[in-house]
Structure 1
Amino acid sequence: MKAGSKFLNAVSAFALSASVVASGAGVSVLASASVAEAAVIRSVQVRGAERAGEEAVRANLTIQPGVSFTNVDIDESVKRLYSTGYFSDVRIAVSGSTLVVSVSENQLVNQVVFNGNRKIKDDKLAAVVQTQPLGPYNQELVNSDIERLKEAYSAIGRSDIEVTTQVVPVGQGRVNLAFVVNEGDRTKISTINFVGNQAYGDGRLQSVILTKESGPLSFLTRKDVYNQDKMRADEDALRQFYYNHGYPDFRIISSDAVLDEASNQYTITFTVEEGPRYQFGEIVVESTVDGVNSEDLQGLVRTRAGDTYDAADVQKSMEAISQRVASAGYPFARVTPRGNRDFNNQTVGVSYLVDQGERAYVERIDIRGNTRTRDYVIRREFDFSEGDAFNQQMVTRAKRRLEALGYFTTVNISTAPGSASDRVVVVVDVVDQPTGSFGIGAGYSAGGDGLILEASIEEKNFLGRGQFIRVAVGGGLDDARSYSLSFTEPYFLGYRLAAGFDLFKSQTSSEDYYDYDEQGVTLRVTAPITEDLATTFRYTYKEIEYTGDGAWDVGTNLSEPYRDLIRQGDFVQSSVSQTLTYNTLDSTTLAREGIYATVTHEYAGLGGDSEFYKIYGRARYYHLLSDEADIIGSVAVGAGHVMGTGDSLNVFDQFMVGGRQVRGFENNGIGPRMANGDALGGTTYFTASAEVTAPMPAFPEDFGLRAALFADAGTLYGNDVANSAGAVGTDMSWRASVGAGIQWASPFGTIRVDYAMPVVKEDFDEEQQFRFSMANQF
């Protein structure tokens, strides 16, 4: 029996040795299927591994001495050795009881350089390619790197790029690799057409999509770059636009991009079918879950019978119902909308069905595409984590939150099967975008301070941590100066609390009597109450210094409190405040629908020299007056009142009103003031404003140029500081102005120019007809 075993082993070894051959590509495999018995070797001999080393070769073998193996093991060993990228040829043979592995080593890459590239820097291209210095030179990998470089250039609109390589031996088995880039001309988009649209013109639809036609400033915006992923995103944007404006039957028939090679320009055509416009019909909530009363959920529904159909309101209703049911102890409950379409009346009734969904848990959350924003910044926008119950409405809410951050150009969330039938993998795909900005504000007063400037720089995703930081400086031709620094951590101590601080310092000079300096700090924390409502608590400590110029030594007719205030001295103001903010705007850049309102009450008297109670607020309502023409109307109102809780109010305790609220006047241009023009402030104010904006005629709508007509009104009256001689304008006299403006969403940021003419004013008011402002993303 023992002799027979030796005979079989010898025959097996001979068969293996005879059947190992090299293929044309250099891969050695077992070509014979005649080996019926497993073979055993006693040793492994490696030949040709001078740089890689014998141990590196042995580590990639699935064959070990003393362990039986077959042709499958040899094939797997060859594949493993090739996958390292260090070998151009691998041969495996059996000689007696020895496995002989012969390899030919690839050359090593000494240096990788890029020639001819101007539009993309070397460090960016180096991050694209996979061939790296001190790694093996592999032609297949180099070929794939060439395709990666072409994709990188295609992403910036240079589809006709050519990439070749140069390989220069430098000795000792090393080579220098150069990618030679011919960037070519930038591919542009000549025309974006829409076919089949009746309700909205081409210009309105072009403002909805991300892709734009090429223009004089397209080299800055890069929005005229054709990309298939952007086309898909544009299709989604068009669907959401129509679904949210009453067209549930809308569909995209086709979207085509045709390249004219002669001009190197694309013509993009979207063929659509709008369908009829619908309104909401009957709205009901039904529940099949024991313990969940459908009547209790009816108040959470945002859709109303008779309103224009809006898919966004349907989604928000689903989320609100799902959140209420989950908080009641039903985490797997599912909310499903069912549409009941009436073709004759063109209405869609919606039934929100609450039933017990399948039990599924989140196995993990995979985040992809974020090159700057850190993973935890994205994860914290989800109301669930790994191991929690899966809820589709929570996924949709997280998507909306991520989009609202402004950190990403696109956000897509999908699901994939997990390791078990009740496990789900949530996949988050994002694309980072610039989140820094700088701003310049300017105003001009012909009879006052002359040119006034303010510059600021801010970053709302600082170091990819989601933190906000802003630095601003301002000044005029006189001695006015201002400085501020703000910082906000949006998730303080891991909770959804936005905590931060503001440091500020400013100095102004009176026309005749005093210099005013202030500096201080504000500590604040903001907590959400609902998706639309938040509250902010603040503590402010402020030091104020007045420096007189000697005029008070001559004597005046001012009342004693004001004389005491103006003379040289230091004052301290210590206050706490709370603000409620209500925000339902549909966009943070160009709001068309929604309300933004704030109301604040403040108490000062925690030490210091100020003792008062203030309450003030402002609300603005936006409404789309014309869908087709994209005409937006807005109205705003504001009011405030302050009352002293001590002996008297100081000048700096009262309200100042001017050009920020009533355009056409200086910042502190209306209300009580001294005969020499110094503003005293007031105890009560009211403001109102109405504005209409529309795309500028003769300009493409996606150019972002809009015209505005506005009317402002306001009054500031009452004064607890100077109630005797020397003060004017303490009565309730209204001021009003009308004007026009131009707003441009330019590549440099949003630029706005306003010209306002006061039509109701007092002789002592300070006017400022022209205002300019700019904010820029970088």
Structure 2
Amino acid sequence: MLRPALIAVFLSSAAISTPFLTPAIAQSYSFSTVKVEGNQTIEPATIISYAGIGRGETVSAARLNDAYQGIVNSGLFESVELVPQGSTLLIRVVEYPMVNIVNFEGNSRLKDEELAEIAKSKGRFVYSPSQAEEDAANIAEAYRLRGRIAATVEPRIIRRDGNRVDLVFEITEGKVAEIERLSFVGNRAFSDRRLRQVLETKQAGLLRQIIQSDTFVAERLELDKQLLRDFYLARGYADVQVLDATSDVARERDAFFVTITIREGQQFRIGEVSTVSEIEGLDAAEFAAVQRIRKGEVWSPALIDNNIARMENLALRKGLNFVRVDPRITRDERGGVLDVEFAIVRGERIFVERIDIEGNTTTLDQVVRRQFRTVEGDPLNAREIRQSAERIRALGYFADASVNAEPGSTPDQVVVNVDVEEQPTGSLTFGASYGVSTGVGFNVGLSEQNFLGRGQAVGLSLTSGTDSAEGSFSFVEPAFLGRDVALKFAVSYRESDNENSSTYDSRIARISPALEFPLGELSRLEVRYSYQDSKISNVPATSSQILRLEDAQGAVTTSAIGYTYSYDSRISGLNPKGGVLLRFGQDFAGLGGDSKYVMTTALALAETKVRQEEVTLRAIFEGGMINSLGGTNSRITERFFGNGKIRGFEPGGIGPRELGAGATAEALGGNMFAVARFEADFPVGLPEEYGITGGLFFDVGSVWSLDNVNGGLAGADIVDDSMNLRSSIGFSIFWETPVGPLRLNFAKPLVKETYDVEQTFDLTVSTKF
């Protein structure tokens, strides 16, 4: 028999050389007694169970080694020793100490509470060196995701009485590793500046202490590569390849230099388009009629998919299941065109067995399920499944969403698995605003886009300015009665005190429910009802006779029904360089209330990008008209003022006023307005990471027409309500800031009336139609 000391040395080693191994394997043992020494808090029976050796069991030396490893792998002991003593096996252990408290030192960017959630080592648990090292690595990873790749974390222990230790993570946070330069290789059709606008990753700029997207996150580069590929494909570059995205770190480890290599290939356009049917009795011409694709258009996957969807939808309307449309592409490299043949073929007979949704801890299943046009038992349409996935991602409720089809219980069935990851959808904002004409204002807003997980949007806003106060509440149910119909409800209340240099006070309370539903792929219709209570008061005796008459009327109620039709080709993505927006709406007042009129408004917008898509050209035409009915007159709370429509003039600075009163007369508004605005947005030469661009504009239009032009007095009219054109020219500075997109307008009126009030500078929050 080997000496006990030699066996102890053997069992405490993870790797034994061959001369010691051979005699050890040949030896076997049988123990009638197992003793445990050194344990303080862990029961002997627990330790023996880790060893897995029973009394009287014949074991080999290799089996003893397994017992040793079993006790070590429990993670409870600092040292373990197995010593055979005749028929007794002695197990000596030294327990790891108990963690008294876990502390973090040196951290300022991440709070103790955040780090405590990352670390799995906890107070009153057994200390584990491997767990402490894993916690240190996880904390360092958390800093890396925040751009601090130089952060180091060292776990230290401070021994206390009673076999206890304090676990301290010593943290050196380091500097944020910003992206100092983001460049491209191989791009000819688009500049570096334009391609940087596509990426989620940004270069470090003027607001580098606030903007988080300029910190280096390696995982974000994969998303950026896909975004670049989609950008080129949408513009006809069918062979584009994003070959590589490399990152080099500066010597100080506080900056990265990212280079993305692209192989663009050539741009293709649509060549000949044809449709064939490989299903007997199916007329290809009928399917070709629903296509919206023209020869000479820039090729894009979205254009092809959109037309395939139209034809497959036609097949479904005709009751034809398992019909698939395959695009067959013929390339003409020399001519730079792709001939497209849409082949109508018979698809496989596969059904959707069920749709499983996972990961939605807050959002109800029905919110996700209603994004599918397919239900259980329907024929499988792979294109529809992909589009459903896009609709789920577009909700904005999830940080990530994947939709996959897997084999079902039978060969002709599939299970659609939806895996989502929730993200916060609510916000509480506090802010301040400033306008040249409105002064300083403060606001607080509360919004939730996925209220109670039902997909409903709720918003509450309170705003207080120098001369006004306003509150509003809104609610939107996007799938009313389970249909693609949005139910909207809005309530607002506004009071103003001599706002925009006026000499009177006003109060407007409004409530408006509405329904909105699609009429086509790009068009929608909203129908609504509105009830409004408005009043102007405290009109001075020296003010306009027309305003004094409206003041004498007291509060006026308006009950109206209306609609708005909108068409927006920009949402389809078929023309990534621009599109058109059309809106036309009417409100009919007179269903009760005091006011009786028909109000009509219209807007047309067209925009396109030129010069490698760095310059945006835009034309906007807008107008409105109020036709008073039943012998009533329009009121100042209903008329148009053209505020912000023609830059270079103050709010209320143009339109009908009393003759002879000069610039001090009250703006009365008009029953009609029409404006045309022409704009160009372009880079100004500054690094794009600063978020500063420029623009030029030319505005022309007018506000005119009143029902009452003499204030009820006999004699000549006291108001000029003629259509007097105004125009202005100027330039803008756009600044993308963390608090919102700011717009600084510098305007010079070209044509104006003597009583108009100019405003050559304006600072506003930039808005988009």
Q: TM-score range by the shorter chain?
A: 0.7 to 0.9
Aligned match of 1:642 = 626
Q: In the alignment, which of 481, 499, 503 is matched to residue 488 of structure 2? A: 499
Say which of 404, 410, 414 aligns to 1:415.
Answer: 404
CA contact (8 A) 1:365 1:386 kept: no
Closer/same/farther in 2, CA of residues 537 and 262 from structure 1, 3 Å limit: same
Are 2:505 and 2:536, in contact at CA under 8 Å, matched by a contact in 1?
A: yes
Instruction: Tell me if the contact between 1:246 and 1:279 (Cα under 8 Å) persists in the aligned partners.
Output: yes
The answer to whether residue 741 in structure 2 is matched with residue 756 in structure 1 is: no
Residue type matched to 2:260 in 1? F
Distance in 1 (alpha carbons) for counterparts of 2:668 and 2:749: 21
CA distance in 2, matches of 1:386, 1:111: 54
State which of 588, 601, 605 in structure 1 corresponds to 2:586.
601
Residue in structure 2 matched with residue 705 of structure 1 by the alignment: 692
CA 1:650/1:90 → structure 2, altered by over 3 Å: closer, same or farther?
Answer: farther
Q: Is the 8 A contact 1:704 1:744 kept in 2?
A: yes
CA distance in 1, matches of 2:728, 2:587: 30
Which residue is equivalent to 2:656? 672
Sort the Cα spacing of 1:733 and 1:110 in 2 relative to 1 into closer, same or farther, 3 A: same
The whole-number CA distance in structure 2 between the counterparts of 1:111 and 1:387 is 54
Which range is displaced more, 567-576 or 129-138? 129-138
Change (3 A) 1:739 1:275: same
Cα distance in 1 for partners of 2:323, 2:45 equals: 57
Counterparts of 1:477-496 in structure 2, within 5 Å, are: 479-492=467-480, 495-496=483-484
Residue number in structure 2 paired with 1:13 = none
Asked whether the 8 Å contact 1:574–1:605 carries over to 2, the reply is yes
Task: Decide whether aligned partners of structure 1 residues 544 and 430 sit closer, same or farther in structure 2, where only a CA change above 3 A counts.
Answer: closer
Contact 1:658 1:665 survives alignment (8 Å)? no
Per-residue deviation at 1:710?
1.0
* AA matched with 1:313: L
- What residue is the counterpart of 2:256 in the other structure? 266
CA–CA distance in structure 2, aligned partners of residues 196 and 531 of structure 1: 37
Shift of 1:763: 2.2
**1:425 corresponds to 2:417:** yes
Q: Could you tell me which residue of structure 2 aligns to residue 96 of structure 1?
A: none
Question: Does structure 1 conserve the Cα–Cα contact (< 8 Å) formed by 2:468 and 2:494?
Answer: no
- Supply the distance in 1 between the matched residues of 2:274 and 2:95 (Cα, whole angstroms): 73
Stretches of structure 1 that go unaligned for 5 or more consecutive residues are 1-17, 33-43, 65-72, 94-98
Q: Which residue of 2 aligns with 1:344?
A: 334
CA shift for structure 1 position 766: 3.0
Q: Distance in 1 between matches of 2:119 and 2:281?
A: 58
- Partner secondary structure for residue 296 of structure 2: coil
Deviation digits for residues 236-280 of structure 1 (CA, Å, limit 9, x no counterpart): 111111111121111123221122334543222222211111111
Do the aligned residues in 2 keep the contact of 1:651 with 1:721 (CA within 8 Å)? no
Q: Within 2, Cα distance between the matches of 1:453 and 1:193? A: 41
Question: TM-score, structure 2 length as denominator?
Answer: 0.80
CA shift digits 1:368-406 (9 cap, x unpaired): 6x9x98475972573168856554333433454355455
Find the aligned partners of 2:487 and 2:220 in 1 and give their Cα distance: 33
> What is residue 679 of structure 2 aligned with on the other side?
691
CA 1:732–1:59 in structure 2 vs 1: closer, same or farther (change >3 Å)?
farther
Name the CA shift for 1:648/1:178 in 2 (closer, same or farther; >3 Å).
same
AA at the equivalent of 1:356: G
Asked if 1:444 is matched to 2:436, the reply is yes
- Judge conservation of contact 2:147–2:177 (CA < 8 Å) in 1: yes
Percent of paired sites with the same residue: 25
- Given candidates 125, 131, 146, the residue that maps to 1:141 is 131
CA RMSD of aligned residues (A): 5.0
- Cα-to-partner distance string for 1:43-95 (whole Å, 9 max, x where unaligned): x999999868899999999999xxxxxxxx999999999998667899999xx
The answer (yes or no) to whether the contact 2:728–2:749 under 8 Å persists in 1 is yes
Decide whether aligned partners of structure 1 residues 74 and 202 sit closer, same or farther in structure 2, where only a CA change above 3 A counts.
same
SS of 2:209's equivalent in the other structure is helix
Letter of the 2:672 counterpart: T
Give the whole-Å Cα distance in 2 for the aligned partners of 1:330 and 1:84.
63
Conservation of the 8 A alpha-carbon contact between 2:407 and 2:415 = yes
Q: Give yes or no for contact 2:355–2:417 (8 Å, CA) kept in 1.
A: yes
**Aligned partners of 2:221 and 2:509: how far apart in 1?**
51
Further displaced range: 566-575 or 735-744: 566-575
Between 1:760-769 and 1:305-314, the stretch displaced more is 760-769
Please say if residues 470 and 485 of structure 1, whose CA atoms lie closer than 8 Å, have aligned partners that are also in contact: yes
TM-fit CA distance, 1:232: 0.8
Supply the AA of the counterpart residue of 1:772: L
Write out aligned runs for 1:44-83 (5 A): none
- Which residue of 766, 769, 774 corresponds with 2:765? 774
**Contact 1:576–1:602 (CA<8 Å) still a contact in 2?**
yes
List aligned pairs for 1:143-222, cutoff 5 A.
143-169=133-159, 175-222=165-212
Is the CA contact 1:367–1:375 (under 8 Å) kept in the aligned structure 2?
no
Q: Return the alpha-carbon distance in structure 1 between the equivalents of residues 124 and 44 of structure 2.
A: 19
- How far did residue 527 of structure 1 move? 3.1
Correspondence for 1:509 among 470, 479, 498: 498
- Structure 1 residue 614 corresponds to structure 2 residue 614: no
Distance 1:280-1:55 versus aligned 2 partners, 3 A rule: farther
Amino acid at match of 2:490: F
User: 2:555 is paired with a residue of what secondary structure?
Assistant: strand
Give the equivalent residue in structure 2 for 1:543. Answer: 533
Aligned twin of 1:469: 459
| AA of the residue aligned to 1:500 | F
The alignment's TM-score, normalised by the length of structure 1, stands at 0.79
Cα deviation for residue 417 of structure 1 reads 4.1
The code of the aligned residue for 1:700 comes to: P
**What amino acid maps onto 1:618 in structure 2?**
L
* Cα distance between partner residues in 2 of 1:85 and 1:294: 71
Q: Distance in 2 between matches of 1:290 and 1:582?
A: 38
Name 2:25's counterpart in structure 1: none
Instruction: Give the letter aligned to residue 600 of structure 1.
Output: G
Name the CA distance, whole Å, in 2 between partners of 1:629 and 1:659: 31
Match of 2:756 in 1: 765
In structure 2, the CA distance between the partners of 1:290 and 1:664, relative to structure 1 (3 Å rule), is farther
Q: Structure 1 683/766 Cα, relative in aligned 2: closer, same or farther at 3 Å?
A: same
- Note the 1:9-24 alignment, pairs <5 A: none
Task: Look up the equivalent residue of 2:597 and give its one-letter code.
Answer: F
Distance 2:45 2:551 in 1: 87
Report Cα offsets for 1:602-636 as digits up to 9, x if no partner.
1222322112222212122221122x251111111
- Cα shift at 1:364: 5.2
The answer as to whether partners of 2:199 and 2:227 remain within 8 angstroms in 1 is yes
Deviation of residue 707 (structure 1)? Answer: 1.0
- Evaluate the alpha carbon distance shift between residue 644 and residue 276 of structure 1 in structure 2; reply closer, same or farther with a 3 A threshold: same
Structure 1 residue 166: deviation in Å? 1.9
Partner of 2:247: 257
> In the TM superposition, what whole-angstrom CA distance separates every residue of 1:283-342 from its partner, at most 9, and x where no partner exists?
334454678654444355443210112223223334444455456556655444332111
CA shift in 2, pair 1:739/1:550, >3 Å: closer
| One-letter amino acid of the structure 2 residue matched with residue 611 of structure 1 | K
**Helix, strand or coil: the match of 2:148?**
coil
Q: What's the CA shift string for 1:534-559, capped at 9, x where partnerless? A: 3333332222233245628x9x865x
- Deviations for 1:506-559, whole angstroms, at most 9, x for unmatched residues? 22438787432222333334334445333333332222233245628x9x865x
**C-alpha contact 1:610 1:653 (8 A) present in aligned 2:** no
Of 549, 558, 561 in structure 2, the residue corresponding to residue 576 of structure 1 is: 561
Aligned position for 2:368: 379
1:268 counterpart SS class: strand
Aligned 8 A contact 1:279 1:309 in 2 = yes
For the 8 Å contact 1:485–1:504, the answer to whether it is kept is no
Partner SS, residue 551 of structure 1: coil
Which of 240, 244, 263 lines up with 2:230 in the alignment?
Answer: 240
Structure 1 counterpart of 2:591, one-letter code: L
| Counterpart for residue 68 of structure 1 | none
**Deviation of residue 573 (structure 1)?**
1.9
Unaligned runs of 5+ in 2: 1-6, 16-20, 23-33, 55-62, 84-88
Name the residue aligned to 1:37. none
Look up the SS of the partner of 2:265 in the other structure.
coil
Question: Which among 658, 667, 670 is matched to residue 682 of structure 1?
Answer: 670
The 8 Å contact of residues 577 and 600 in structure 1, kept in 2 or not, is answered as yes
